Structure 1
Amino acid sequence: MLPVRNPNLAYALLLVLLIVAGFVPVFILNPSHQNIAILILMAAQMGVAWNIVGGYAGQISLGQAAFYGIGAYTSTLLFAHTGLNPWLAMLAGGVVAALVSVVIGWSCFRLKGHYFAMATIAVAEIIQIVFTNWEFAGAAVGLTLPIDKQGWAVFVFDSKVPYYYIALGLLLVTLLANFIIERSYYGYYFRAIKDEPDAARSLGVNLRKYKLIAFAVSSFFTALGGSFYAQKELYIDPASVLGTGLSIKMALVSILGGIGTLFGPVLGAGILTLIDEGTRALFGGSGRGTDLIIYAALIIAVAVYYPNGVLGWFNNLMARRRAVSLQAARGEHQ
């Protein structure tokens, strides 16, 4: 089913913002400001990808950085050692991450709740240690992409603008995948597994199968984001693409914006990225960790006062206003 009938104001507003986003490089000419816009799009894409497994299926994975890193390393190694086109290498990274996620999920989905979350953290730490000690993958030193020319063929540019549009395109593709999932029977199964797993099982839903599907799709798109990061920075190491903080940020983006919603992660990405860049600009090196303190405060506030996230709060606010208006209209007729 195509566009939602009578979309609420929040969805309409965010759709307009996405359209406006296409014109950002035309009005923002400062490369540093363009880079911030790219970082917002990258964080949004990671959050939207995480939302498939964590938001819709309700499986809180805190080790998604493992698949981000797998995508980054796979595409980089393929390009460096085989000369494979970086665009194809990006897709290969996504496929490898999806296959690895199925292997991991087959065991980890025997666990439930916080046990599953802890297992994903442990797996991500193991993968980070493996890459830190794997000489072929550069070990702790990392890898630099061997670039001798620029252009679309090699995914390397001397301007931020092409990277911006690629990041925007990647976000839109990931959003489209979420949109299709949300309105397909997969989406209904995912939400049933999240809300009433026992009832879903009694109705014949294969819980492990659909959890694995959600995990694999989420990991695929997460790996695409990692591959894009590698091509943008032209250098990766275990700390930058496999760190635990990256996994936490993926989850925070969705939780803050509105977990289990289509555009919630986009909103959360904008808020968190601006906080991150703002604290760096304000405090510099002396304020290291300040952004994490603010993240924690925001998440506590959301958990206590707005459990449905900023987007959920906005929707509730508009619903209350409509209810007040409707009540006032009824009073006038009486």
Structure 2
Amino acid sequence: MHPDLSLEPAAGRWRQRLPLLLAAGLALLLALAPLFTHDAFILQVLFKTLLFGALGASWSLVGGFLGRISFGHGFFLGVGAYTTVLLMLDLHLSPLLGIPLGGLAAAAVAWLIAAPTLRLSGHYFAMITIGLLQIGLLGVTNLSWAGGASGLSVPIGNHPWMLLFRNRMPYYLLAVVLALLSFAVVYGSSRSRLGYYWRAISGDEAAARSLGVPAQRCKLLGFALSAALTGVWGGFFAIYVGFIDPDSMFSLSTSVEIVLVAILGGAGSLYGPWLGAALLIPLGEVSRAAWGGSSGGADVLVYGLVIVAVTMFLPGGLTTLRRRHGVARG
């Protein structure tokens, strides 16, 4: 008897769709979470975990698949935030339109910046991204029409079309939907021909070019897509918190936290940044809530020790646990 080969393509399609199905199932569970708890702190932790999971996944397009370490993704977060809020305040444009436009603005700026800078790699590229972050911080601080150092406030009200709500629940549900969309975009791009080109460039750019890979264009597209997703979340986060200023939006500490989430979870992997966020964000929030200002820095110490432990024992990130477990069983 011969095996039914017609079943193999169907099985392959199901395997390809499995990550999306798992993500959709998890998103449904998270959307149902408010039915089981009304604790504002728990929902805040879940919101922030989704935020940094998506930001880490966006960063991973550059830092994981392309192998270019960026410490300046807070810049694109700020571009998206300021674009969305300024369009809302000056043109009375709904964030439903302003948030995507913020992502496009971040992508456009990334495209212009990446053309000369992506020819560099290693610490040279990392230093340029840090400089970019500082340029954004100083630039916005000195722009009076953008609020200057005082920042900008989002109006208070209850206007669903303007994404203004009296309570946080709608924002949480929107974050779940946006996180699922972000996962789908990263999944689709990483599994496309462009995604395979990114991996080839990261492995050996010279060899990839010799095989006909348009390396510069692929790097530009990856950087722009990463910036666009980051900018979208910047705009959404600005509406959520209701206030933005240069120090909070163009923050080096936020950029570093995005990098930590991605790398500790497993940069260049589909699930890694989300796993990193699921570990680090609740740990940081719970330790700060438990000890607060009276801890003498104990919360930061615990946070740092976890980072050191994961780095030492799982240098490839949390996603390597599965491979190690498989080797041990084998």
TM-score over 0.5 for the pair: yes
RMSD value, Cα: 2.2
Using the alignment, how far apart are the partners of 2:13 and 2:148 within structure 1? 47
Relative to structure 1, the CA distance from residue 163 to residue 315 in structure 2 (aligned partners, 3 Å threshold; closer, same or farther) is: farther
Counterpart of 1:48 in structure 2 is 57
Give the equivalent residue in structure 2 for 1:22. Answer: 31
The verdict on how the C-alpha distance between 1:280 and 1:202 changes in structure 2, with shifts beyond 3 A counting, is same
Match of 1:112 among 117, 121, 138: 121
Indicate the SS of the match to 1:110. coil
Deviation at 1:294, TM superposition (A): 4.3
Q: Against the structure 1 CA distance between its residues 249 and 206, is the aligned structure 2 distance closer, same or farther, given a 3 Å change threshold?
A: same
> What is the Cα deviation at residue 129 of structure 1?
1.0
- Which residue number in structure 2 is paired with residue 249 of structure 1? 257
Report how far residue 19 of structure 1 moved: 3.7
- The equivalent residue for 1:331 is none
**TM-aligned CA deviation for residue 282 of structure 1:** 2.3
Q: 8 Å contact 2:291–2:299 — kept in the other structure?
A: no
Report the Cα offset of residue 54 of structure 1.
Answer: 1.2
Aligned-pair identity in percent equals: 36
- Confirm or deny that 1:191 pairs with 2:203: no
Letter of the 2:328 counterpart = R
Of 118, 127, 130 in structure 1, the residue corresponding to residue 139 of structure 2 is: 130
The whole-number CA distance in structure 2 between the counterparts of 1:24 and 1:194 is 39
Q: Are residues 296 and 32 of structure 1, via their aligned partners in 2, closer, same or farther at CA, if it must alter by over 3 Å?
A: closer
Letter paired with 1:246: T
- For residues 77-96 of structure 1, the aligned pairs below 5 Å read 77-96=86-105
Query: Which residue of the partner structure matches residue 237 of structure 1?
Result: 245
Are positions 1:36 and 2:48 aligned together? Answer: no
1:329 matched residue in structure 2? none
State the match for 1:205 in structure 2: 213
Which residues of 2 match residues 1-334 of structure 1 at below 5 A?
A: 2-4=13-15, 17-147=26-156, 149-287=157-295, 292-321=300-329, 323=330
Shift of 1:168: 0.9
For normalisation by structure 2, the TM-score amounts to 0.90
Matched residues, number: 319
Deviation digits for residues 71-113 of structure 1 (CA, Å, limit 9, x no counterpart): 0000000100011111101011000000000111112112111
Task: Give yes or no for contact 1:108–1:120 (8 Å, CA) kept in 2.
Answer: no
What residue ranges of structure 1 are gaps of 5+ in the alignment? 324-334
Q: Distance in 2 between matches of 1:288 and 1:242?
A: 27
Q: What is the one-letter code of the residue matched to 1:223?
A: G
SS of equivalent to 2:269: coil
Paired amino acid for 2:188: I
Report the Cα distance in structure 1 between the residues aligned to 2:322 and 2:279, rounded to whole angstroms: 15
